[in-house]
Amino acid sequence: MRSAVTILAGLVLSAFATAQDPKEEAKKKEDEAKAKIAEFKKELKGAKTDADRAKTLEMLGDVKHPKVLEELKNYLKLSTEVAIAAAEQIGKYSKDKDAAETLMATAAARRDKDAIVKCIRYAGDVGVRTIVPKLVGFFKHKEADVAREAVDSCAKLRAGASIDPLLGLWRELDGIKDEKDNGGLNGGIGGLGAGGITGTNPIEDGNKKRKQDLTPAVESALGKITGENFKTLREANDWWRKFKGSWKEPQE
């Protein structure tokens, strides 16, 4: 009986030691990652189009590992479709600072709007607040879709560091006039008034559209971060002045 108990105890301790061996566990995960990358590369050889390559990249989403992440990075400089597919998989690396920073760096380097928007979106999904300053840098991007995605990602992260920049953006948008000046070209050419040729101001029109596109996103983001429902910029500013010193950032 004593011998059986000793043997059983030994087996339990051995199993516990194996389970707790970090090196063994790390080796197992590394081997799994290497196998998945090898399988992916074999499948990739048969991919003839960007759509095929993008679909094949989904395979790498099955295993989360630094080696897999490094492999995914190789495809962020390729075509829009392929880069977006790689970014989507990188966006699944929850709380991984390297993943988030990589996506933000890619967004800054690329020139195709769709890829930039998706990189910013997936960077927000990773959930690392240290990228907030980089997101804020996209608030002034010439493409409203890019700026809006940066605002939306700030909303996901709910970081206190984004409140002042969001209020600043709202202030900037609020300063854009909704109605055009009736003077000059807008009143018609040559004194023809309403019956003349109406002038246009592309910059003014673009700013108005930017205001329409971004203001709801900013209001929503501030609501998600603070838990408040601000109906006006003044209301938001007043609240922040009052509670900035005591407000607690939501837990990640």
User: What's the pLDDT at 184?
Assistant: 44
Query: Which one-letter amino acid corresponds to residue 7?
Result: I
DSSP letter at 49 equals S
Q: Which two tokens stand for residue 178?
A: 């909704």
Looking at residue 131, what DSSP letter applies?
A: G
* Residue 72 contacts residue 57 (beta carbons within 8 Å): yes
Separation of alpha carbons 144 and 150, rounded Å: 10
- pLDDT tens-digit map of 175-232: 998 765 444 444 444 444 444 445 567 777 889 999 999 999 999 999 999 999 999 9
DSSP letter string, 13-67: HHHHHHHH-HHHHHHHHHHHHHHHHHHHHHHHTT--SHHHHHHHHGGGGG---HH
pLDDT at 224: 97
pLDDT digits (tens, 9 = 90+) for 234-244: 999 999 999 99
| Cα gap 85→91, rounded to integer Å | 10
**pLDDT one-digit tens code per residue, 87-115:** 999 999 999 999 999 999 999 999 999 99
- Reply yes or no on whether the pLDDT at 245 is more than 70: yes
Task: Return the residue matching tokens 């081997």.
Answer: 31
Average pLDDT for the chain = 88
